[in-house]
């Protein structure tokens, strides 16, 4: 008996294509047709049987041909996109668990597709940022910049937003450059909920820059422009952002109500990290909300999220300030 491998394999990839076309012979015929019937169908079928035994090793010529013709299974691509997106619930997993899940995909056949490698690099960069390691995140992100125009639209937007986020902490003068490239690409994202979440993140980063300039009215306007209906991620970001902007304008009663609203939206969407941020915001606005801050700290510890814990520590040291 051969060893059973954890994670996606060439056999899984071929079985998916066979499931779509009906037989291995049909797959071989399609591959032959793609090359002008230059190869014998029987020879291709034998090559595919050998490829099935490659497990998670490099697929060589026939692995490349198979993926170029049929791509990865839709379910695999969906999982990679999910792990790559900051607004997905992948970022709500405890860091070690997310790390283990990501490792299951960081090998062939997944890594033999450019877009798959990009999604994996974005997911890995997200984990590095949750460990508060900006240098490691940049090592993942910067090679992707050279391929920006060859990436799927959502991967390109994700890359630019994350790159801008890192720049806000390490090189603030570069933020406008990265955010300026986001807008034209957003229209190319076809999934409406995905696009809404990415728009909310763009508004969030623009508002952050406005807050840094102490232009709290501009930050408020950025959040007001977001829709009042849509995915919980968007609604939470809108409410939490407004809470801070109004708090800095001295409207604490409205601000506290919006922070509580943000916590509800985060709970509705299962967004644990956003719930931490909303609870922290509530405690930030109203110092009497000691229990809210204690809950936020406890959740962050369970997630083993260094970035969240550092934010909470800074908020505790500087009450009433960002």
pLDDT digits (tens, 9 = 90+) for 108-137: 999 999 999 999 999 999 999 999 999 999
Architecture of the domain defined by 215-322: Alpha Horseshoe (1.25)
CA distance 51 to 321: 59
Model's pTM, two decimal places?
A: 0.90
Instruction: Spell out the residues 6+ positions from residue 69 whose beta carbon is closer than 8 angstroms to its own.
Output: 30, 31, 34
Other beta carbons less than 10 A from residue 74's beta carbon: 10
Q: What angle do CA 86, 90, 96 make, to 5 degrees?
A: 115
Q: For residue range 168-180, what is the model confidence (pLDDT) as tens digits?
A: 999 999 999 999 9
High-pLDDT (> 70) share of the chain, % = 97
Per-residue pLDDT band for 247 (boundaries 50, 70, 90) equals: very high
Per-residue pLDDT band for 307 (boundaries 50, 70, 90) equals: confident
Does residue 319 surpass a pLDDT of 60? no
Domain boundaries, the chain: 10-71, 73-190, 215-322
Report whether 95 contacts 303 (CB < 8 A). Answer: yes
Q: For residue range 204-236, what is the model confidence (pLDDT) as tens digits?
A: 999 999 999 999 999 999 999 999 999 999 999
Report whether 24 contacts 18 (CB < 8 A). Answer: yes
Residue in the block written with tokens 């931490």: 276
Query: Residue 33's pLDDT is what?
Result: 96
Query: Residue 317's pLDDT is what?
Result: 55
- DSSP for 243-266, written as a single string: HHHHHHTT-HHHHHHHHHHHHHHH
Instruction: Spell out the residues 6+ positions from residue 196 whose beta carbon is closer than 8 angstroms to its own.
Output: 227, 230, 231, 234
Query: Residue 3's pLDDT is what?
Result: 61
Q: What angle do CA 289, 204, 90 make, to 5 degrees?
A: 80
Does residue 157 surpass a pLDDT of 80? yes
End-to-end CA distance of the chain: 59
């Amino acid at each position: 008996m051969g060893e059973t491998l954890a994670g996606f394999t060439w056999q899984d990839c071929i079985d998916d294509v066979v499931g779509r076309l009906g037989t291995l012979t049909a797959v071989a015929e399609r591959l032959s047709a793609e090359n002008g019937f230059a190869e014998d169908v029987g020879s291709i079928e034998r090559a595919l049987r050998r490829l099935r035994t490659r497990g998670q090793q490099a697929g060589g010529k026939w692995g490349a041909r198979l993926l170029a013709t049929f791509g990865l299974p839709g379910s695999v691509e969906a999982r990679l996109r999910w792990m790559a997106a900051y607004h997905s619930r992948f970022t709500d997993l405890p860091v070690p668990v997310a790390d283990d899940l990501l490792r299951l995909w960081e090998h062939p056949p997944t890594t033999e597709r450019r877009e798959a490698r990009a999604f994996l690099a974005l997911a890995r960069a997200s984990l590095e940022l949750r460990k508060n390691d900006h240098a490691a995140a940049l090592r993942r992100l910067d090679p992707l910049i050279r391929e920006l125009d060859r990436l799927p639209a959502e991967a390109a937007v994700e890359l630019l937003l994350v790159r801008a986020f890192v720049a806000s902490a390490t090189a603030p003068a570069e933020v406008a450059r990265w955010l300026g490239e986001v807008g034209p690409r957003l229209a190319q994202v076809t999934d409406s909920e995905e696009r809404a979440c990415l728009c909310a993140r763009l508004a969030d980063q623009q508002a952050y820059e406005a807050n840094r300039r102490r232009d709290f009215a501009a930050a408020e306007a950025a959040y007001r422009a977001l829709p009042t209906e849509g995915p919980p991620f968007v609604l939470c970001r809108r409410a939490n952002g407004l809470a801070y902007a109004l708090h800095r304008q001295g409207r604490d009663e409205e601000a506290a109500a919006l922070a509580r609203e943000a916590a509800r939206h985060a709970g509705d969407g299962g967004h644990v990290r956003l719930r931490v941020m909303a609870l922290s915001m509530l405690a930030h606005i109203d110092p009497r909300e000691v229990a809210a801050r204690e809950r936020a700290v406890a959740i962050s510890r369970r997630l083993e999220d260094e970035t969240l814990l550092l934010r909470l520590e800074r908020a505790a040291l500087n009450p009433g300030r960002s």
